[in-house]
Chain A
Amino acid sequence: MTIRRKLAALVAGLLLMATPALVLAVDDPSEMLANPQQEARAQAIGAQLRCLVCQNESIEDSSAGLARDLRRVVREHVAKGENNQQVMDWMVSRYGNFIRLKPAFSPGTLLLWAMPVLALLGGILTAFLFYRRRAAAPPPPPLTEDEKARLARLTKD
């Protein structure tokens, strides 16, 4: 009995811990599309759109008024049968690339996207040069008599 109760409490606790991840800012179920597939697609698009009021949240996560309006617009477009790219383009034409949480691949963002590869190549090159130089360096000159005597003194017991 007690074990069962403990188990139940554990399950309830875990469920509680899991809920925050499930909660979206959609504060009114009437906002959601009736078709679950379309709703899922609208949420996926919304998760890629920056809330321009809070700036570091997606419109699906934000409870700002503008985010709510933009969620509605996304759902209108999805319900009309537009694909993700069309909805994204509609938003970008009004709010600019800033509204994308994931920057688009373009000449302006080339350096940004290439940076991980460039950094890795740079690191490999540095390491290669470093080891090659160390391997090529001549061995240090042998110790002089004075140095030998000093070393013997220092290591003596």
Chain B
Amino acid sequence: MTTPSDNLTRRRLLMALPLAGAGVAGVAFWKMLDGMEHGSFNPHDINAPVLDRPVPDFTLAPLPPAEGFTTQNLQQLDKPVLVNFFASWCIPCLAEMPTLMTLKDKLTMWGIAYKDKPENTASFLRHSGNPFTRLGDDHTGRAGIEWGISGVPETFLVGAGGIIRWHTAAPLTDQTINKVLLPLVQRLQTP
């Protein structure tokens, strides 16, 4: 048998439910925004389904005098290589370059110029420095589609045998490199 005061308590509890719901949603949004600010959450980061899959078939135009590369070159790797899509017209790529320059002694990097004019790519690399030991030109963006990129910069870590081990659709930062990328490279190189 419920008494009127029981009913009242239940009503109060029911009224608190929407408030509690709003509170939970508020905390969730706050965490999301906080993550966006600190780089741990990026709503535009599309999780490409390429992880642990072989590199796709793609073709790149040469960018002389740099040595180009092919799918076969990646499949024949015996240690990890970082493949970076960049473009001279892309501001985040320009911002990323100093970070890549500090990384070039620790990790081999091959670059793909995405939808760029060769002369613009050349002057971009002259100004920002060239961290890439090999370079290819994806003038049409078709190789980018094969890799599943949605913009530049995007970076893939290709391990031995041409298997994609890591991917990011955001500019590389020192934090990502030291906390995620280099430890992973370390793990991949120790049998």
Contacts and interface: CB of A to CB of B under 8 A. Distances in A.
Interface stretch (A3-11, A94-102, A113-121, A147-155): A94-102
A95 B150 contact: yes
Contacts of A98: 46-47
Interface string A78-110: 000000000000001111111000000000000
A70 B141 CA distance: 10
B21 interface: no
A92 B148 CA distance: 9
Given A73-B145, A94-B56, A94-B145, A66 B47 contact: no
B161 interface: no
B49 interface: yes
Nearest to B48: A96
Q: What's the interface size class on A, roughly?
A: 10 to 19
Interface of A is mostly: helix
Contacts of B46: 52, 95-96, 98
Contact of B44 (A55, A93, A94): A55
Main secondary structure of the interface of B (DSSP, over half): loop
B52 interface: no
B166 to A, nearest CB: 16
Given A53-B150, A94-B146, A94-B148, A66 B141 contact: yes
B92 interface: no
Contacts of B140: 69
A122 interface: no
Contacts of B148: 94-96
Contacts of B47: 96, 98
B79 interface: no
B115 interface: yes
A55 B47 CA distance: 13
Which 10 A-B residue pairings sit nearest by Cβ, starting from the closest?
A52-B150, A94-B148, A96-B49, A69-B141, A95-B148, A98-B46, A52-B46, A69-B145, A66-B150, A96-B47
Interface of B: 44, 46-50, 56, 115, 140-142, 145-148, 150-151
5 contacts: A66-B145, A69-B141, A73-B145, A94-B148, A96-B49
Given A66-B141, A94-B148, 8 more contacts: A69-B140, A69-B145, A73-B145, A94-B50, A94-B146, A95-B150, A96-B47, A96-B48
